[in-house]
Structure 1
């Protein structure tokens, strides 16, 4: 007998399409995908008629630990589950990854109700020297270099070794890791002061000034150099949180010339918010929010496959870290719980984006890029990571209902459709009827996603 059946839903299978059917779950895995009319017997059945069933989202870009340190794994996993995210990747940085990674993973396994994996943030020669050791020991095959922390900008945050040499060395080492990929934050921080000084002197304190101090071509220039270096190093590269039309155009040009894999990720806020957003300083983020023309271009990239993955870049700090001054406000904001509703409201309803494309960029493609063969789709043998979505009811975003440590959202009051009703992680209900389950609250059982390295 099956443990659970999701009966008569519209199954969103990214590889094949949307079709009515039922999903039978046994021992945490999908045991059978049944056509309409087939009877499945289980201990529990959830009627999914009139609802969409998505593969659980895998958020490729989060910053767990930036809010309430270790306890973030509890609060932010619960927020993720409310948004239909059944697994996430978070960036881990420390002086010595060999010492910090084990305890950090243990914290996640102790507190998280969803599965999670790590990207290693590489900021020093020691990280490169020990990359093969740490990758193998902790099953990590994805690495990030922060070009915005070069020079004086990096020194202000304690990073003194980030330069193009570190980037290139990372690529040479990462290509030796099975499935290895280097993600890069692309902003030319050396030119930003040319714009920042006059803007501050003019008394600018509006969100658009953040875009003007780091304009789109500073991202595009870095994108071009990163892809060129990656081609010479013969290393797969991922342009993370791409924000601009010009940056995407650079990617397309290089892809026509170079053969090494060039992956592109964007985030929901670059698709759905602009530099004129009414949230103002609350929406300060790096790279900056751009213009509507950039949003339009990025949506085109999602639709045509130029952009492969979409994440949240979730940062769960308190609203107090924003303050009232643009230049000293913290960068980033929470977004885990709103990722799927934003993609459905603005992408599917607003632009006609197929549901299968949303499932691809938020689940299937993430699983493929980061080496998770048991996740990302709805098929027999896969982990039963599933999300039942209410396709029609509009609900206002309210930070008080999102369970994050963060006490605000720049999306406050925005009306969205596509909210999850049920969320299952390996067949285990963590959200039922739109609410966190007792198990999610008191007996988290998230697993660390060790990749084959």
Structure 2
């Protein structure tokens, strides 16, 4: 076996969340072997990619994807091959999917093991979240088994009664178990009673079609649920992560809790940063069926400000790959149609464009790296992800922060027939993508690596925080 590293990315500006440096990145056996100052000669490598004048950032970590998800009578149309390929096209090299029981007959453990088996077809690395819908005496044992599998987070929904909703007793008990198992509680926060009543009122008035979605799920429902969940997390001492926050008020509640010492995190999604409720008055409102819905232009602007201020910790796609046939089956009744948007491939440019708009056109790439890769990896306790440093996985993107492209939904690779960003001009795209040391995207197109994606067992939440605190990053790598 040759001692020559298989890849060197030379002369690039390496950008981490904590700083940047001019360096050659040396890759050996799927990991970063070392960084060499760019003033030194380029090390030997089987393949050398010249990144002079370009930025090299960590591969993205998308902490919120739904792959081959069954909800009621609908199934998303993707599989791991399709979604992982789309992720790589978009500069994301690790996705985290959910094992959500499809009905009362499937246990949380079975749901995760089923997804883990399907993930063998993935082209990029995969981690998993569990999910609990209802409590019984087997749940503590199942959560122990999930932790042993490297699944250290559990998602619960505070709405969707009759399908995925967990009641308050279940949420509280699961939080206690996650504390015991050093895990992280994920929450979809919308107050079910408010939403159910508001939806019923609209149905009585005949205003239940997709054009009314944003009126049936008010901002108050999200913020009340966040407040209640934070109280339960404070009571149990559980670290808590809120998915797809769509309002500045929800983010502010998390910020306030953190100021009092709670371990709480805010995630938002690209569509909440860039689209507003006017889409429901468009000629194709079904493109935008998701929960929570899009908000007012004023709310979107305020949410972007929270992003610019650093109050939002991650931006995830909430990727759900339905097609327009499924969406259009019941546009007359939002209670009967599938909700969710495809977005794993466009997460990079939509997020970076939103950051540019929030910062007046001068977004720091370091801040982008934090919410796109480093933050999701750290919060989700993913070892060796989200940072360009010796010993970390060789997940790398040569990123062009100036490149503009107009989104063509038909030209994307997510396995569906639309994109909610179709026709929008976005800034910031990947030029080269390296996953586990393999060049999968370059100027010659996509190079399918085959089903080489690895299942990534996650560490305990506090265990990982202690581990990363002990990592010594070379001083030169923290310079600007």
Q: TM-score, normalised by structure 1?
A: 0.91
Match of 1:267 among 236, 251, 269: 269
Deviation at 1:206, TM superposition (A): 7.1
Counterpart in the other structure of 2:468 = none
Structure 1: distance between partners of 2:78 and 2:342: 15
1:208–1:296: structure 2 CA closer, same or farther, 3 Å change rule? Answer: farther
Which residue, out of 139, 147, 154, partners 2:150? 139
2:159 counterpart of 1:148? yes
Q: What displacement does 1:66 show?
A: 2.7
Deviation, structure 1 residue 410? 1.0
Deviates more, 1:220-229 or 1:283-292: 283-292
C-alpha separation in 2, matches of 1:79 and 1:326: 31
Q: What does residue 7 of structure 1 align with? A: 10
Change in Cα spacing, 1:194 to 1:70, as seen in structure 2 (3 Å) is closer
Moved more, 397-406 or 115-124: 397-406
Q: Name 2:196's counterpart in structure 1.
A: 193
Q: How does 1:14-413 map to 2 (within 5 A)?
A: 14-16=17-19, 18-39=20-41, 40-66=43-69, 72-94=79-101, 95-109=106-120, 111-126=121-136, 128-149=139-160, 154-155=161-162, 157=163, 162-178=166-182, 180-204=183-207, 209-257=212-260, 259-277=261-279, 278=282, 280-323=285-328, 324-325=331-332, 327=334, 328-348=336-356, 351=359, 352-413=362-423
Gaps of 5+ in 2: 461-480
Cα distance change of structure 1 residues 69 and 137 upon mapping to structure 2, 3 Å threshold? farther
Deviations 1:205-244 (A, max 9, x none): 6766322211111100010010011001011111111111
Question: How many residue pairs were aligned?
Answer: 439
Alignment partners' CA distance in 1, 2:297 and 2:117: 42
CA shift for structure 1 position 297: 2.4
Alignment CA distance shift 1:98-1:33 (3 Å): same
> Alpha-carbon deviation of 1:54?
1.3
Deviates more, 1:357-366 or 1:202-211: 202-211
Q: Please list every run of at least 4 consecutive aligned residues from structure 1 whose deviation after the TM superposition is greater than 6 angstroms.
A: 67-70
1:112 and 1:444 in contact (8 A); partners too: yes
The separation in 2 between residues aligned to 1:210 and 1:104, in whole angstroms, is: 31
- List per-residue Cα deviations over 1:281-315 (Å, max 9, x = no partner): 21111111112222222223223332111100000
Q: Secondary structure at the match of 1:227?
A: helix
Q: 1:14 to 1:255 in 2, by over 3 A?
A: closer
Distance of 1:400 and 1:135 partners within structure 2: 38
Task: String of CA shifts for 1:11-70, please: whole Å, max 9, x gaps.
Answer: 221112x34332111111111222223222211111222322110000010101138669
TM-score (norm 2): 0.86
Secondary structure at 1:336 match in 2: coil
Gapped regions of structure 1 (runs ≥ 5)? none
Q: 1:103 to 1:201 in 2, by over 3 A?
A: closer
Tell me if structure 2 keeps the 8 A contact 1:144–1:183.
yes
* Aligned counterparts of 2:357 and 2:255: Cα–Cα separation in 1: 27
Task: Tell me, yes or no, if the aligned pair for 1:208 and 1:275 is still in contact at 8 Å.
Answer: no
